[in-house]
Structure 1
Amino acid sequence: MPNHKNDEALTTCDSQGSLSNKSRKGNIDMNIVQNKELSFHNTNFAYMEMGGQVWLTAAEVGQALEYADDKAVQRIYSRHADEFTAQMTGVVKLTTPSGKQESRVFSLRGAHLVAMFARTPKAKEFRRWVLDILDREVAHSPIAKQFSDDELCSLAWLWRASDIMLTACESVTPLLKVAEHRQVGHFHSIGQELPRSINKAREVIKRETAHIEFHPWKDDNWSRVLPHLRQEMLQ
């Protein structure tokens, strides 16, 4: 298989929708492909979902753009290959009743870039159509996991440390008032301004760590911090 300028991966799909991915960096397991449909005028895209993205075949993109030549999109890609990333295009090897066939596919962003280079009357409308789909994808897509469990544990302890310091500030503020200490205003402000932010942080961290099991017999960082984080839940 020839190398491509954007270091794209070669994806192999079978007719049942399972796939594997081989690139120069090694073997990578990918999600199951789901074949669905999108329509743009007379073009019905039997699109695939791979790696959380929608992928369209070059042939169908060309049809939507109303190119008479089914190789037109491939030529657009060849002329501008350095502007496409591996997240925008790739080559899939489909297992069909007539055997394996290679086909170039484009993600929605890749299809939009193709349409930017296209000069057909439908190109402008197609670009708007793709952007509308991207907007819907963003609006309805689940938020990817941002932190590892170890990082979440560190954030939980950061919340715990701030909670301890806030409690200490609230305890010492009356003594500073009696002593007419010059820092009394600062400590009073801490007690008034920070609780809301600390409590909001607690709710977020508690939500993101809901999958962590509490084991009271363990002596580890999670077991020491979770009782404080989930205090009202454990009572």
Structure 2
Amino acid sequence: MNIVAKSDLNFHGNALVPVSNITGTWLTSSDLAKALEYSNSRAVTMLYNKYADEFTSGMTQVLEVSTTGNYRKRVRVFSLRGAHLIAMFARTPVAKEFRRWVLDILDREVTQSPIASRLSDDEIVSLCYLQIWMEKAQQVSKEIYPAIRQLGSEFSGIMYDLGNESRFVTRPTRKILLREIQNLDIKKVKSRNAEGMLKNFVNSKELH
């Protein structure tokens, strides 16, 4: 069952229809192309083919669907996380706004989900370490982006995204972790130096 209503999936006046008979919210390449203002779905297919190794089975699948005349064809579909990753590689004028739009929907799906998985204390600590390193990568990327761009490096786009766009991911995850830390029993945590790290994490400022 999809938590997000179909009426909510409207981006810039484009109604995006989730794929039926599959758990979660999945979009076709055609709908993604329409939202990202590509002329056809081949552009999305080319992006996927170029970066296929970065997608997991939870981000994209190939389904067989019926067409007019009872013919069957194979269609590639993307979950919301997969759609966000496609938009990370896209360079259309609306790609940045589309990424934010997808993240807003993902946040709502998490909030409205009837089943909340419970992480162990050690898992929460591990995620806090991951958050810290992600924020460090964000800070470093933002600092060195101008130099990378000046050099004309092919990585300048990635550095820009890490330095400026990743905050739309790290801000909500930081809030989630700060909430989870409140219920954490530090005595049960096996990771060494976790207490000091958690204190620094709680007291550190959010990156902008």
TM-score by length of 2: 0.50
Counterpart among 105, 109, 117 of residue 81 in structure 2? 109
Candidates 39, 61, 81, aligned match of 2:52:
81
From 47, 56, 61, the equivalent of 1:90 is 61
Aligned to 1:68: 39
The 5 A counterparts of 1:130-145 are: 130-143=102-115
- Letter of the 1:93 partner, please give it: E
Moved beyond 3 Å, runs of 4+? 34-37, 49-52
Amino acid corresponding to residue 27 of structure 2 in structure 1: L
Mapped partners of 2:66, 2:116: distance in 1: 31
- Give matches, 1:136-215, under 5 Å: 136-143=108-115
Task: Look up the equivalent residue of 1:85 and give its one-letter code.
Answer: T
Distance in 2 (alpha carbons) for counterparts of 1:103 and 1:52: 16
User: Which residue number corresponds to residue 11 of structure 2?
Assistant: 40
Provide closer, same or farther for how the CA distance between residues 105 and 135 of structure 1 changes in structure 2, counting only shifts above 3 A.
same
Give the aligned partner of residue 55 of structure 1.
26
Q: Residues 35 and 103 of structure 1: is their aligned pair in 2 closer, same or farther, counting only changes over 3 Å?
A: farther
Higher relative strand content: 1
C-alpha displacement at 1:43, in angstroms?
Answer: 1.6
What SS class does the counterpart of residue 109 from structure 1 fall into? helix
Rounded Cα–Cα distance in structure 2 between residues aligned with 1:69 and 1:140: 33
1:119 aligns with 2:100: no
Q: CA deviation at 1:143?
A: 1.4
Shift of residue 100 of structure 1? 1.2
Q: Is 1:128 matched with 2:76?
A: no
Task: Normalising by structure 1, report the TM-score.
Answer: 0.45
- Provide, for residues 79-103 of structure 1, a one-character-per-residue CA deviation record: whole Å limited to 9, x for no partner: 0000000000001111133321211
Q: CA deviation at 1:125?
A: 0.4
Which deviates further from its counterpart, 57-66 or 37-46? 37-46
Deviation at 1:68, TM superposition (A): 1.6
Q: Which runs of 5+ in 1 are unaligned?
A: 1-30, 147-235
Q: Is the 8 A contact 2:30 2:40 kept in 1?
A: no
Once the two structures are TM-superposed, the CA of residue 35 in structure 1 deviates from its matched residue by 9.4
Instruction: Identify the residue that residue 206 of structure 1 maps to in structure 2.
Output: none
Which structure features the higher share of helix residues? 2
Shift in CA distance, 90/61, structure 1 to aligned 2, threshold 3 Å: same
- Specify the SS of the correspondent of 2:19: strand
Q: 1:117 to 1:36 in 2, by over 3 A?
A: same
CA distance in 1: counterparts of 2:20 and 2:112, whole angstroms: 15
